């Protein structure tokens, strides 16, 4: 698969979304942070993050708190160097309470295909274990990701 760079088509935007989904499901802050420009700017709910080191710290703390995290992203809209996604993910907190988070993200990409800006809004809903959508062994649209895909 070729490196996915703007301007995006429906097909390349869809590929970019599914690769991002697979990458985030690794829960590897260092690997995920490499998909962003060194000076990438984020708004994640009420947190503002800039640069690779801050992204790595943010993600490490996120996945330490959001245990058993499983994410699904879907293409919402796209244009030239921008992609919007809707997403939902499930996780449990330290007390064992399961949650499903629903939200939207708006991404802006640099010419090389790395993400320069990410804005996320999300809402957490407590759920009972039997309400979970993502159970052990569920394949969340698995795709193979490599260094040249992002």
The CATH topology of domain 10-86+104-123 is Nuclear Transport Factor 2; Chain: A, (3.10.450)
Please give the pLDDT value at position 146: 52
pLDDT band at 148; cut points 50, 70, 90: very low
- CA distance from start to end of the chain: 10
Q: Residues 128-144: pLDDT tens digits? A: 999 999 887 656 665 55
Please give the pLDDT value at position 129: 95
Q: Residues 34-59: pLDDT tens digits? A: 999 999 999 999 999 999 999 999 99
| Cα 147-81-37 angle, rounded to 5 deg | 45
């Amino acid at each position: 698969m070729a490196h996915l760079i703007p301007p995006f088509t429906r097909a390349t935007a869809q590929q970019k979304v599914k690769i991002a989904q697979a990458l985030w499901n690794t829960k590897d802050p260092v690997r995920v942070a490499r998909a962003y420009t060194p000076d990438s700017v984020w708004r994640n709910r009420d947190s503002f993050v800039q640069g690779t080191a801050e992204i790595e710290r943010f993600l490490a703390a996120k996945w330490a708190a959001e245990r058993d995290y499983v994410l699904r992203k879907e293409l919402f809209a796209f244009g030239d160097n921008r992609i919007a996604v809707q997403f939902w993910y499930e996780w449990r907190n330290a007390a064992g309470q399961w949650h499903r988070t629903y939200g939207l993200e708006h991404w802006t990409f640099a010419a090389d295909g790395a993400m320069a800006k990410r804005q996320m809004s999300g809402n957490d809903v407590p759920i009972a274990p039997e309400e979970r959508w993502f159970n052990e062994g569920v394949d969340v649209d698995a795709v193979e990701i490599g260094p040249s895909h992002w």
